[in-house]
Amino acid sequence: MEFKSVKEILTAIKNKHISVVELTTSYLNKIMQHDDELNCFITMTEEFALNKAKEIDKEIAKKKFRELAGLPIAQKDIFCTKGVKTSCGSKMLDNFISPYDATVIEKLNDAGTIMLGKTNMDEFAMGSSNETSFYGPVKNPWDTEYVPGGSSGGSASAVAARISPCSTGTDTGGSIRQPASLCGICGLKPTYGRVSRFGMIAFASSLDQAGLFTTDALDAAILLKEISGHDEKDSTSSSVEVPDYHAYCLDDVKPNYTIGIPEEFTKDLNEDVKKVFYDSVKTLEKMGCKIKTVNLKYTGLGVSAYQVVAPAECSSNLSRFDGVRFGHRSGHASNLEDLYRESRSEGFGKEVKRRILVGTYALSAGYYDAYYLKAQKVRNLIANDFRNAFNKVDLIIGPTTPDKAFKIGEKMNDPIAMYLSDVYTVSTNLAGLPAMSIPMGFKDNMPLGLQIIGKHFDEKNILKLSYLYQKETEWHKKEPGK
């Protein structure tokens, strides 16, 4: 029996149409059949999954139901998982077995999910194509010659291929939304602080945010409630009340949203992508939404600001990987300085080294004011742009990416072109805003995503608009190879 959504799976389990062991086994078999081609997973956790499935089946027999009882899920390999390798897609952590669970993992475990395995990703979340992983590139299930996007490409590809019903991801500059767009699924980046970052291996601490991949918006609403909320172990975690997103999506009230379209998101847009985008705008207008042009004049500087702020923070965060305490340790060092140098040279890939060097330079004496401080000022201008726009509109939309997925290897020797893949997504991270990508159509048989951006902690209206849009369209129901 095949189920299409998280909600259908949870209903089938509750009604005892399938046991959790049967369901888990089915997904593990799907992964075995397809992952050699896609390379979505770094580590499989079959024994853990089946033991947990048996435990949940026993609970269900006693009429004890957790919120997400029996739901299979794939976890991005950036979240620490107790007793399981957590590699962050890097040789540096290829031998690291985490002694504890990240808060996101802990909450999902407590809710009754079944972890199928840890998904492939760009090394330390640095990349837009999932080609920088120590474990090789992930393939896009719509066409395996193309990238799935990054850094959460393994999580996105697994959900798009239907070998996992849902997955976790992280978004520092678009690393959930961009792969969701390129793989034709839903990807939600919550407000900064909505979901705890404890146990999520840091890239850029002021930008990183945990989120989700699903096939439809309603599933994202179900899962978001379970992973959200204040965490005393994370000083940046918010105590803002967590609403029932699922109930809000399903209530009878249909808001007449005023939706802003930034000129900056469409003026240089590829004509084919522009047509698909404005077809989506027409759908929203038919639904009763009012469309308004807004100005986000500083978002064009978002990639430049991001490429100073993020590497600066990464150069600090990755200093802990020195070959001494944990992770890769070179066997060729004769003294402590050599140990640092050789362990990092051997353990880090090219893109990680590039960003560490850029960040160290930006923070160095004589350059801090010229680069890092100026980037932070630009970041504030971008945040002000959004604040001013949200005085006039309820939500902001645009294309998630400037184009469809590109071929594997096409941009690996052109870092600037790679960074520009995130041109429409980085500004929301700089401003700490929630945003979501949902399927809006195709170009040359490859999916494209519609990005919906909301005010701080307004995930409920992003999810509701996404849900209402998906009631009017069929794009989210399309599957690779069908």
- Of the residues 30, 52, 76, 107, only one is catalytic, namely 76
Q: Is residue 76 annotated as a catalytic residue, yes or no?
A: yes
Tokens describing residue 195: 């979901």
- Order of all β-strands in the sheet with 446-453: 41-44, 114-119, 72-76, 167-171, 209-214, 186-189, 435-443, 446-453, 395-399, 258-262, 290-294
Q: Is residue 437 annotated as a catalytic residue, yes or no?
A: no
Q: Alpha helix (H) ranges present in 74-216?
A: 103-111, 153-160, 177-183
Torsional sign, CA 428, 187, 310, 204 = positive
The partner residues of 74 in beta bridges, in order of sequence, read 117, 167
Rounded Cα gap, residues 271 and 14, in angstroms: 47
Judge residue 94's burial from the number of C-beta atoms within 10 Å of its C-beta, 0-12 exposed, 13-18 middle, 19 or more buried: middle
- 136 with 29: CB under 8 angstroms? no
Nearest to 102 by CA among 126, 86, 125: 86
- Of the residues 175, 238, 280, 421, only one is catalytic, namely 175
- 93 with 86: CB under 8 angstroms? yes
Q: Is residue 98 annotated as a catalytic residue, yes or no?
A: no
Rounded Cα gap, residues 181 and 130, in angstroms: 14
- Of the residues 151, 181, 437, 466, only one is catalytic, namely 151
Residues involved in catalysis:
76, 151, 175
